[in-house]
Amino acid sequence: MTLSLFDAEENKRTWQEPLCDGALVLRGFVLDDETKILAALEDVLAQSPLRNMVTPGGFRMSVAMSNCGTYGWVTDRGGYRYDRMDPESGNAWPAMPDFFAKLAQEAAAQAGFKNFEPDACLINRYEVGARMSLHQDKNECDFTQPIVSVSLGIPAMFLFGGMRREDKAMRVPLAHGDVVVWGGAARLRYHGVLAVKTASHPLLGQHRINLTFRKVN
């Protein structure tokens, strides 16, 4: 008989943490794909570079953004919207890599959302100090479709609020490789990200990247 120092269960680098009805954290879900994801992102961002967009209120966002897929999320003085065109390049957004859509679909399926076919991937890049204030994601057509988020690089503290901006928010730490599926009763809850603290990641330096996969239309 062999003696093992580590229990297989305690040794695994991926596990699930349900947050509430509709929200499931898949810790380490994309760890095996990190280099492939970052190479594909480099290619996307060469075509549609990250930029700090302006909110309808006239503030420049601390998070730098770009998109891939049929639709991209944009904001300017005119408001928030999804657009087929990158307003900076005047071209369509870069195509969403097939394996991005596949990863998002697999994650969604783990949470019970079958056949999720994202048509938009918003790319958010946080430098140290960047934050995202509490908001709802409600520019998509069908709220029965989940949103899948992928965290890469330095960690962040995610704020998961309620159905009203004033509701007390739960704090959820998100680290490199973590994926979260937000659907069902969680889909329209307020959420945000606290100012990112100084840290360094071997692949991304002092940055955090978050990808959100959405079904817009």
Structure tokens at 73: 């999320």
Site string for ligand MD3, 182-201 (x = CB under 6 A): x---xx-x-x-x--------
Q: Is 64 in the site for ligand MD3 (CB under 6 A)?
A: no
- Work out the widest C-alpha separation in the chain, in whole angstroms: 70
Closest CB to ligand MD3 among 48 and 212?
A: 212
Which residue in the set 118, 207, 212, 215 belongs to the binding site for ligand MD3 (CB under 6 A)? 212
Tell me how many residues contact ligand MD3 (CB under 6 A). 15
Closest CB to ligand MD3 among 97 and 182?
A: 182
Closest CB to Fe ion among 36 and 80?
A: 80
Q: How many CB atoms lie within 10 A of CB 152?
A: 23
Closest CB to Fe ion among 39 and 163?
A: 163
Which residue in the set 65, 69, 137, 159 belongs to the binding site for Fe ion (CB under 5 A)? 137
Find the binding residues for ligand MD3 in span 134-163 (CB under 6 A): 137, 147, 149
Name the residue with tokens 């928010």. 169
Structure tokens at 217: 């239309």
Find the binding residues for Fe ion in span 67-126 (CB under 5 A): none
Q: How far apart are CA 124 and CA 117, in angstroms?
A: 20
Query: Which residue, among 93, 63, 74, has the nearest Cα to 210 in the 3D structure?
Result: 63
Pick the piece of the chain touching ligand MD3 (CB under 6 A) from 11-19, 164-172, 181-189, 198-206.
181-189
* 124 interacts with, out of ligand MD3, Fe ion, none, CB within 5 to 8 A per kind: ligand MD3
**Please, are residues 196 and 128 in contact by the beta-carbon 8 Å criterion?**
yes
Which residue in the set 124, 125, 145, 196 belongs to the binding site for ligand MD3 (CB under 6 A)? 124
From first CA to last CA, the distance across the chain in angstroms is: 57
Where on the chain is the footprint of ligand MD3 (CB under 6 A)? 122, 124, 132, 137, 147, 149, 180, 182, 186-187, 189, 191, 193, 210, 212
